[in-house]
Structure 1
């Protein structure tokens, strides 16, 4: 079996990071489903393709919550967290060759990091933009994206409109700013170790001092 691994939500300030791994016998087995980089596929099509992948191929999903990421970042970098999560997703799939989307500027170094957390005898091939290059990684990208979108939608029902959860999303930043303004702390779904949150807390602190 060969496998592809990818994640969604690595850089988000709200919500989890979702990692998915998909296995297949041949590289082209997934092509007929229309797999591609998940960001290039419309949401409804992504959901349909994700369901078809899950019905026909083995897959694993690993979810890292915002709180868990904050705890792990006390002792490791975000790239290491992703690498460990990639390796965990692979641990239940009997793969001999794995393609991963490199989260490090150095492809070789990232592949070696994932390999160090993986079982012996599993070849790790790490490439930038692997979700464009290898169908199994495209498939993993789709599953991870659909799962994260589902979680963000659930969080929005519970917490209000949080946007996409990314720092580049003004809806997300507005939500965070308002929450911190009213509660003097970030919500539990926020990654408090992110500079975005630290800056908003600092801004709130400075504003409070001025008010005083």
Structure 2
């Protein structure tokens, strides 16, 4: 059995990171589905494929919320945290070989990092842009993306429009600025260890000092 592993939300400042693994007895199991990197698909197409992948394949996910990521980053780098989460989903499926989307510039070092968190033997094939090269990783990217998008939609119902949760999204930055202006602290769903949050807090602190002066 082989599996593909990918994550969604690694660089997000709001909401969770979701890591997904999809296992198949052979890669051609996915040939007729037309899976591809989730970023190249519409939300509707991702949802359609999500259901088909779940019916046809073994699937495992791990979700790390913002506060968990902040806590983990006091112990290890983000790359190590992703590698450990990759190993967690691989362990759930026990494949003979796993294709992983490398989170390190050095693909061989990343493969060894994932292996260091595994207690069972599994060949790790680490590649950059694995979600574009291997259908089984494309399938994992779809599962991760849909799972995370659903989580963001749930959080938006509670907190208001968050946008995508990424620092490059003006809606996300506006939400963060407005929340911090009103509550004087970041929202519970923000990764407080991110530079984006630190910069907004620093600007607000500076503004308060100027107003005081």
Regarding TM over 0.5, the answer is: yes
Where do 5+ consecutive residues of structure 1 fail to align? none
The answer as to 2:157 corresponding to 1:157 is: yes
Give the drift of 1:120.
3.3
Match of 1:115 in 2: 115
Tell whether 2:146 aligns with 1:146.
yes
Distance in 1 between residues matched to 2:142 and 2:62, nearest whole Å = 14
Structure 2 portions without partners, runs of 5+: none
Partner of 2:92, secondary structure, is coil
- The 1-side partners of 2:96 and 2:45 are apart by 30
Displacement of 1:27 in angstroms is: 1.5
Quick one: distance in 2 between partners of 1:120 and 1:149? 31
Stretches of 4+ moved more than 6 A in 1? none
TM alignment of 1:4-23, pairs within 5 A: 4-23=4-23
Equivalent residue for 1:167? 167
Rounded to whole Å, the distance in 2 between the matches of 1:130 and 1:28 is 16
Q: CA offsets per residue over residues 103-131 of structure 1, 9 Å max, x none?
A: 11111111110011113320000000000
Cα drift, residue 184 of structure 1:
0.8
TM-superposition CA deviations, 1:8-54 (whole Å, max 9, x none): 00000000000000000111211211110000011101001011000
TM-score, normalised on structure 2?
0.98
Provide the residue aligned with 2:197 in structure 1.
197
* Equivalent residue pairs, number: 212
Q: Is the 8 A contact 2:91 2:120 kept in 1?
A: no
Pairwise CA RMSD of aligned residues?
A: 0.6
- Post-superposition shift, 1:202? 0.4
1:100 is aligned to 2:100: yes
Question: 1:26-45 counterparts in 2 under 5 A?
Answer: 26-45=26-45
Offset of residue 94 of structure 1: 2.0
TM-score by length of 1: 0.99
Residue 46 of structure 1 aligns with which residue? Answer: 46
Determine the structure 2 residue equivalent to 1:207. 207
Conserved? CA contact 2:101–2:131, under 8 Å:
yes
Contact 2:97/2:124 (8 A) holds in 1: yes
The answer on 1:83 being equivalent to 2:91 is: no
- Tell me the alpha carbon deviations over residues 35-91 of structure 1, each in whole angstroms, 9 at most, x when there is no partner: 100000111010010110001110101000000000000010000010000000111
3-state SS of paired residue (2:119): coil
